[in-house]
Structure 1
């Protein structure tokens, strides 16, 4: 099992992923893709990253907006796995979303 991060560690990690905010035991990121097709392309990129990491976000698509939530469910909160995937998603977003 992966260790839960402390509040201080979470605050430090959030500094490296400015698109993400903490809501209770999750981090949330919101991305605008410009079109529904663009949103789907972004979700496919996120899916590939998630499969590679073995760590899967909750995904909500609203036309051109993609909302993602990350939490390590088996640990009961936020771990380094969440922030690692958030950083990877942000890199992928650079070429696909606003």
Structure 2
């Protein structure tokens, strides 16, 4: 059985330039052009085939985004850490730099008194699927769009229908909070920090900034 690593275990691995978000280990490699990016993708592909473990690669003109995730463990494993080191080495060999500090993953949450009653509609409407053991969310089978999960709320309490869960690197979260507050927002609740902070805009619409830290499920 493949063992899922916690966020802290991943951090202790000492990876440089990688961040652990809700959807896996991620980094962005700056290439400066399409040809260099394509050559790097080829090199990563060859290494992935050799390791029999395959990352998600997003090739753009000036960068390549890499995401590592072990589907059989539904999380980050030692295989991902090992392949991350290989990717870092291949980037360095090509004279390229990589950094994940500014990367983020976004989840959509719907406040609902009875999530189970509306989940099938959203699954069908979005063409999403359920994951085994996850009865409160639906996900894009291709992994290209944000997952949707259903936040329990009282039937009589005022509620915001939608809010965002935005996952960032722990090193980046305070800067993001400061920028949001400077832009007219406020911190509503930090009782669950450093797992997440609840922020609101000037109209009171709430969303959460999340990290892997101090999570019961291991992050």
Same-fold call, TM cutoff 0.5: yes
Q: So what's the TM-score if we normalise by structure 2? A: 0.42
Quote the Cα distance in structure 2 between the aligned partners of 1:40 and 1:2. Answer: 31
Runs of 4 or more consecutive aligned structure 1 residues displaced over 2 Å after TM superposition: none
2:39 maps to: 41
**Residues paired across the two proteins, number:** 96
1:45: Cα distance to partner? 0.5
Match of 2:65 among 67, 70, 91: 67
Please show how residues 9-20 of structure 1 align to structure 2 within 5 Å: 9-13=9-13, 15=14, 17-20=15-18
The match for 1:94 is: 92
Q: Which runs of 5+ in 2 are unaligned?
A: 98-219
Q: Which is helix-richer, 1 or 2?
A: 1
Secondary structure of the residue aligned to 2:93 is coil
Task: Tell me the TM-score normalized by structure 1.
Answer: 0.91
In the alignment, the residues of structure 1 paired with residue 82 and residue 38 of structure 2 have an alpha-carbon distance, to the nearest angstrom, of 22
Structure 1 residue ranges without an equivalent (≥5): none
Matched with 1:5 is 5
Cα pair 2:69 2:75 within 8 Å, conserved: yes
Bigger Cα Rg: 2
